[in-house]
Amino acid sequence: MLGGTATHCPYCALQCGLRLKAGARVEVEGDPAFVVNKGALCIKGWTAAELLSHRDRLLHPLVRDDRGELVRATWDQALERIAEGIRATQARHGRDAVGLFGSGSLTNEKAYALGKLARAVLRTSSIDYNGRYCMSSAATASTRALGLDRGLPFPIEDLGEADALLLVGSNVAETMPPLMQYIEKAKARGGALVVVDPRRTATASAAALHLAASPGTDAVVANGLLHVIVRDGLVDEAYVRDRTEGFESVRAQVAGYWPERVERISGVPTADLERAAHLLGGARRAFVLTGRGPEQQAQGVANTLAFIDVALALGLVGRRGSGYGCVTGQGNGQGGREHGQKADQLPGYRRIDDPAARAHVARVWGMDPEALPGPGRSAYEMLAAMGTPGGVRALLVFGSNVVVSSPDASAIEARLRALDLLVVSDFFLSETAALAHVVLPSAQFAEEDGTMTNLEGRVVRRRRALEPPPEVRSDLAIMRAVAARLGVTSYLPSDDPRDVFDELRLATAGAPADYSGITYDRIDREGGVFWPCPSETHPGTPRLFAERFPTPSGRARFFPIPHVAPAEEPDDEYPMVLTTGRLLAQYQSGTQTRRVEALARLAPEAVVELHPAVARRLSLSTGDQVSVVTRRGRATFVVRVTPAVRQDVIFVPFHWGGERCANRLTNPALDPSSRMPEFKVCAARLESSREPVRHAGGAP
Ligand code: SF4
């Protein structure tokens, strides 16, 4: 085909380039001109256009009537209900009683507009987004250690030149398959892939070495690697001396993580740990990459810092052909965390508690800095406090399905049901939208313009290939209409994303994530522009940290990280460790992918993966039903017996709601600084439908 409109996949942070040809059916083709995926797509990308004309699509607003039913309404009725609800809530309970919840799938323009809607129109501090559940630990760790957070501070193509690659808690072979072409290229040149993961995932199966660490022991493995690196003289001493600070305390700290101790705590065999350290330490070019495995824990920041310590000790960060990065998850997980939908942030990574940042943004917004609210609660904290004194009583949700994606999901669902006003903008009636008082139908990726920032920090263009259905509106138009109903007509320059982007450029000028030199025309001409890009003549910044780190001293910082056990450990009542993750054929809360026929055929059921020894002990076989029970609740899954999972671990994917919702089980214990919930580890037991099944975990 290779005609049509060049745009990008609506799903993950790789933002694969694709071409859409609108007709009776919208056809999809991978775009070979986009350098990141070079034409390759995974099955999610190939089938993304099916949702444009799906029979479940929301095609007009819905409003809950006196009988409690969601019924068809006009936009006028829906907007009036929202405006009345906001006014009444703020009059009775104060400005912060109205909250906004955004998403890492929103374009940069929408993320920016949502932050501005909160601070400049509603004047509420209550705003956060689902990226808090995804990227906040990596963001906090990178900012602390390196002075700046950008998922990959280098172009993805650099990975293909690696001699060694350590991938921690990320199953890219299933979550972003086109990325594997770079890993395969590195392997073909003799490079070695080392994977740390409690499961033998498709990615781990492709590795030279798989370290099957127990969930919650990531920092132990990192410290063990560093112990061997120090012990065996593999530290890049010149780099450590010239470009970093704080190594001596880390050197002393990791002395206590000898390989036998690491094996005892994590289950990683001594010989494998030593081999991994030497593969990394002996490589001329190497990368350390972290994913949600180590990050989605109550120790997520510490775990990530521990792996950054490894990368710094080896002199990788800022060296061409080497580096540290985090593998961002959601489509705009990068841009979504930069432009002000986070509770503590203004556009461009400016901090909301920084007077200079407030003054700059207030000037762009034409308001008094004093009128800008301060920091609000993080995503889970805002949701958990709904309906309590001082908590949110009216919530507007854009592009997020919090009933499925929040930890301790049943408790969050109960709080949502008790709200005075819940408004959800989405394409489908998600589990969260089904609870709403007002549901707004929004445009899909192929029906809108805007920008997304992929996992490399490359700003790309989402381009409209067809008109949305007649009564469907873009989120920008929705936010603008809400503001207008509240009497604020000057909130956004127009509904046109290009105008909003031009304002975003002004708001981010001089900030860490500076977009001021990026324009739509440049993105079109150059195939994407890397931030920071402080002027239209600046080439953009594909590689960060080459000369110095943006810390006060210009050096990267080491942090000694002692092992701290997960918030919940197995005991007699809950003897197994539960961990959660993604499948190839589903995406996030499944609102979209569960509706795509080809994907539903590949992954029709929420499965629980159990080791054969566990299944034998419990007389369970593949295809049986079993309940997983934790201190939060219970969910039921179809058994899949596989040796790919450790004997002490239960794995469930988190793409389903209701009785099969993995997050009814997960622990909302939060990282003390990133406020990331502990999705990746909690204590659990298995129960047959008849009675609790007593059993004990074992070694992998
Ligand atoms: Fe879409 Fe990600 Fe698949 Fe690429 S890897 S096609 S961006 S879901």
Query: What pLDDT, in 10s, does the model give residues 137-177?
Result: 999 999 999 999 999 999 999 999 999 999 999 999 999 99
628 in contact with ligand 1, CB cutoff 6 A: no
pTM value is 0.95
168 in contact with ligand 1, CB cutoff 6 A: no
306 in contact with ligand 1, CB cutoff 6 A: no
Residue given tokens 């977009």 in the structure block: 515
Confidence of residue 329 (pLDDT cuts 50, 70, 90): confident
CA of 19 to the centre of ligand 1 (A): 13
Mean pLDDT on 667-674: 95
User: pLDDT tens-digit profile of 431-481?
Assistant: 999 999 999 999 999 999 999 999 999 999 999 999 999 999 999 999 999
- Ligand 1 atom closest to residue 14's alpha carbon, by position in its atom list: 7
**pLDDT > 60? residue 697:** no
Q: Is the dihedral of CA 50, 54, 56, 62 positive or negative?
A: positive
Which DSSP symbol is given to 468?
P
**pLDDT > 80? residue 557:** yes
**Phi and psi at residue 86, to the nearest 5°:** -65, -45
CA of 3 to the centre of ligand 1 (A): 20
pLDDT of res. 595: 86
**pLDDT > 50? residue 619:** yes
Task: Using DSSP, state whether 148 is helix, strand or coil.
Answer: coil
CA of 245 to the centre of ligand 1 (A): 38
- Ligand 1 atom closest to residue 41's alpha carbon, by position in its atom list: 6
Q: Where are the CATH 3.30.200.210 domain residues in the chain?
A: 5-51
Q: Select from 8, 12, 181, 584 the residue to mutate for testing ligand 1; criterion: most ligand atoms less than 8 Å from CB.
A: 12
pLDDT of res. 587: 81
Mean pLDDT on 636-660: 92
Confidence of residue 602 (pLDDT cuts 50, 70, 90): confident
CA of 442 to the centre of ligand 1 (A): 21
Residue given tokens 């993961």 in the structure block: 197
pLDDT of res. 600: 87
* Other beta carbons within 10 Å of 553: 11
Question: Could you give the CA distance from residue 62 to residue 69 in angstroms, rounded to a whole number?
Answer: 9
Confidence of residue 380 (pLDDT cuts 50, 70, 90): very high
CA–CA–CA angle 296, 528, 29 (5° rounding): 85
Nearest CA to ligand 1 atom 5: 176
Instruction: Tell me which CATH code domain 5-51 carries.
Output: 3.30.200.210
Q: Where are the CATH 2.40.40.20 domain residues in the chain?
A: 576-693
Confidence of residue 212 (pLDDT cuts 50, 70, 90): very high
Q: Which residue has the higher pLDDT, 148 or 603?
A: 148
What is the helix (H) or strand (E) element at residue 7, kind and residue range?
strand 5-8
Mean pLDDT on 385-391: 95
pLDDT of res. 592: 86
41 in contact with ligand 1, CB cutoff 6 A: yes
pLDDT of res. 689: 61
User: pLDDT tens-digit profile of 279-323?
Assistant: 999 999 999 999 999 999 999 999 999 999 999 999 999 999 999
Q: Select from 19, 28, 41 the residue to mutate for testing ligand 1; criterion: most ligand atoms less than 8 Å from CB.
A: 41
CA of 314 to the centre of ligand 1 (A): 32
Question: Could you give the CA distance from residue 450 to residue 461 in angstroms, rounded to a whole number?
Answer: 6
Structurally, at CATH architecture level, domain 136-326 sits in 3-Layer(aba) Sandwich (3.40)
**pLDDT > 70? residue 135:** yes
Q: Is the dihedral of CA 524, 525, 528, 534 positive or negative?
A: negative
Question: Could you give the CA distance from residue 78 to residue 72 in angstroms, rounded to a whole number?
Answer: 9
Residue 47: how many CA atoms within 13 Å on its side-chain side?
Answer: 19
Confidence of residue 493 (pLDDT cuts 50, 70, 90): very high
Q: Which tokens go with 41?
A: 């797509």
**pLDDT > 80? residue 696:** no
Instruction: Tell me which CATH code domain 62-133+334-530 carries.
Output: 3.40.50.740
pLDDT of res. 593: 85
Does the domain formed by 576-693 have CATH 3.40.50.300? no
**pLDDT > 70? residue 693:** no
Strand pairing of 192-196 and 164-168?
parallel
Q: Select from 8, 16, 452 the residue to mutate for testing ligand 1; criterion: most ligand atoms less than 8 Å from CB.
A: 16
SS3 labels along 670-689:
ECCCCCCEECCCEEEEEECC
**pLDDT > 70? residue 695:** no
What is the helix (H) or strand (E) element at residue 86, kind and residue range?
helix 75-93
User: pLDDT tens-digit profile of 191-209?
Assistant: 999 999 999 999 999 999 9
49 in contact with ligand 1, CB cutoff 6 A: no
Confidence of residue 573 (pLDDT cuts 50, 70, 90): very high
Nearest CA to ligand 1 atom 4: 16
Confidence of residue 2 (pLDDT cuts 50, 70, 90): low
* pLDDT averaged over every residue in the chain: 94
11 in contact with ligand 1, CB cutoff 6 A: yes
CA of 12 to the centre of ligand 1 (A): 5
173 in contact with ligand 1, CB cutoff 6 A: no
Task: Using DSSP, state whether 98 is helix, strand or coil.
Answer: strand
Share of the chain above pLDDT 90, in %: 91
365 in contact with ligand 1, CB cutoff 6 A: no
**pLDDT > 90? residue 700:** no
Distance separating the N- and C-terminal Cα atoms of the chain: 49
Share of the chain above pLDDT 70, in %: 98
**Phi and psi at residue 587, to the nearest 5°:** -140, 130
